[in-house]
Amino acid sequence: MLYDRRERCFVAGRYFLPIFGSPTLDKLAAHSVLGDQFPTGESIFQWLPQVQRHIDPAVARNIAECIRSSRDLLIVYRSMKEPTGLERWITPKALVSDGRRWHVRAYCHSRSDYRDFVIGRIAVADRTRPLASELPKDEDWEEIIPVGIIPHPSLSEAQKTLVKTDYNMDETGLTLKCRKALLLYALVEMGLDSDIGPPRQVLALAEPSIRSRL
């Protein structure tokens, strides 16, 4: 910390590191969004435009409340097969984001199975009831799969070293832990659901056979 005589306060010096939490650009950008402006009055951060899916706040609130209180929820769900929507009772388990859309992991009483329901496609969600019965275990949710990531094998050794530095890999690569129920979303988000190869794809799965788990 350095003392700023003009402002009469301490400011972060060139080599300042916070004690609490890791110093990441994401966290600094979040402060900018919240209104911690820079001296120029303009944020130095820019974000790519994104298409946002509509989510009814009341629907999201009711889903979250049913998760907390362990209750069933009656929804009207619209899909490509039934665009006008069908009623079904679900038991919400968790809210999940893949970075672009939100869905709810829930037990579907109509299908007697765990499914993912895109929240933006839920038209109505305003009736609840106590759990009708004890639910079966969500095997795909409980199973944790290690996902090994390495530089793409077709890269040169110098390029592989660069990729390892980019993603903070050690000599064996990088291992992420992912629920089986979320594996497809994770691979799609990382561009690893198929092998395209460089230059568009610089990462690869250490065990490509993991795609057979989808």
Arithmetic mean of pLDDT, 171-177: 95
Report the alpha-carbon distance of residue 113 to residue 135 in Å, rounded: 10
Q: Which helix or strand (DSSP H or E) is residue 189 part of?
A: helix 183-190
- The predicted-structure confidence for 35-49, as pLDDT tens digits, reads as follows 555 555 667 778 888
- The predicted-structure confidence for 85-109, as pLDDT tens digits, reads as follows 999 999 999 999 988 899 999 999 9
- The predicted-structure confidence for 47-66, as pLDDT tens digits, reads as follows 888 888 889 999 999 999 99
Strand segments (E) across the chain: 2-4, 9-11, 71-77, 86-97, 102-108, 113-118, 122-130, 144-151, 174-179, 203-205
Report the alpha-carbon distance of residue 67 to residue 63 in Å, rounded: 6
Q: Which residue has the higher pLDDT, 210 or 1?
A: 210
For residue 134, give the amino acid letter. E
Backbone torsions φ then ψ of 56, nearest 5 degrees: -75, 120
pLDDT given for residue 40 in this prediction: 55
Q: Report domain extents, the chain.
A: 1-47, 57-136, 140-213
pLDDT given for residue 14 in this prediction: 77
Q: Which helix or strand (DSSP H or E) is residue 24 part of?
A: none
User: Which of 133, 139, 137, 142 has its CA nearest to residue 89?
Assistant: 133
**Using CA of residue 11, residue 15, residue 20, residue 25, what is the dihedral sign?**
positive
